[in-house]
Amino acid sequence: MKIIDLQDRERDRPALVMGGGPSLFDINKDDYRDAVKIVCNDYYRSAFYKDFKPDYWCAACSINTLMGLPKFGGEKILDHAITNGLTLFIGIPRPNERDDVRKYVEGFSYGEFACFWDWGNFEIQRLLQHRYSTKGFYSHGTSVILHQIALAFWMGCNPIHVTGMDLSYKVAKERTGQTHAGFNEAWLGDDDMLQVPSTIQTIHNDLAYFGQIAKRAGIKFHNLSWKTNKVNFEGFING
């Protein structure tokens, strides 16, 4: 599948973009049963999804993470997305790794359900820039949820709701007792990698960029993680 095949694929359908943060549990799933559901990474670890099947799976990482090499934990997060029948949207930095992952996916006879895009050359970013006639484009994506949001815009979804985007492991744990939606990542310790000033600024810049697209295109763009991550960007509505 080529990235162009996804353009307007879900036009005017509501989208629910779901990160891994515990604010997932703030929503009423029944309100979003008919939405296009976009998840990422090891989403399956959360009990949230036991009766809530996603549609699209996003990743932007190296082959080491996707394929579960032993020194990276040994778990093939890619296999979970395939066996659960999700459409794959994968950005991989190195071209040679992209080819290796493509061959692996095709081994499952799953190629028609997988879209691989060029992370290094800002492929989805440039396509959105052209589509919405913006001066610039969003970053390489400090958080994968930015690529999930980009996919929702590219597919023509409206409205777009974002949840599980807590952007602070520390705040999430203080509010819910957990770093993620239904589990703790013990290896994080007291670190809060997402709250490095340069990292959070890049994420905020990207969210503001999407807010401007939403405003220009008449797309309703909602932050459902506002209890943990309240933002103030034009076009991105808290609640």
Per DSSP, helices labelled H in 84-196 are 95-106, 123-132, 145-154, 169-176
Q: What is the pLDDT of residue 72?
A: 44
For residue 29, CA distances in Å to 3, 19, 53, 144 come to 29, 15, 11, 22
Domain boundaries, the chain: 3-238
Residues in the chain: 239
* Residue 34 token pair: 């008919």
* Residue 91 token pair: 């950005």
In degrees and rounded to multiples of 5, residue 104 shows phi and psi of -65, -45
> Side chain identity at 138, as an amino acid letter?
Y
Q: What is the pLDDT of residue 71?
A: 42
Task: Quote the CA–CA distance of 49 and 181 in Å, as a whole number.
Answer: 10
> What pTM was estimated for this model as a whole?
0.92
**Secondary structure of 129-153 in the HEC alphabet?**
HHHHCCCCCCCCCCCCHHHHHHHHH
> Side chain identity at 143, as an amino acid letter?
S
pLDDT in tens, the chain (239 residues): 899 999 999 999 999 999 998 899 999 999 999 999 999 988 988 889 999 999 999 988 777 777 765 444 556 788 888 989 999 999 987 778 888 888 888 888 888 899 999 888 899 999 999 999 999 999 988 889 999 999 999 999 999 999 999 887 777 777 778 778 877 776 665 666 566 778 889 999 999 999 999 999 999 999 999 988 888 999 999 99
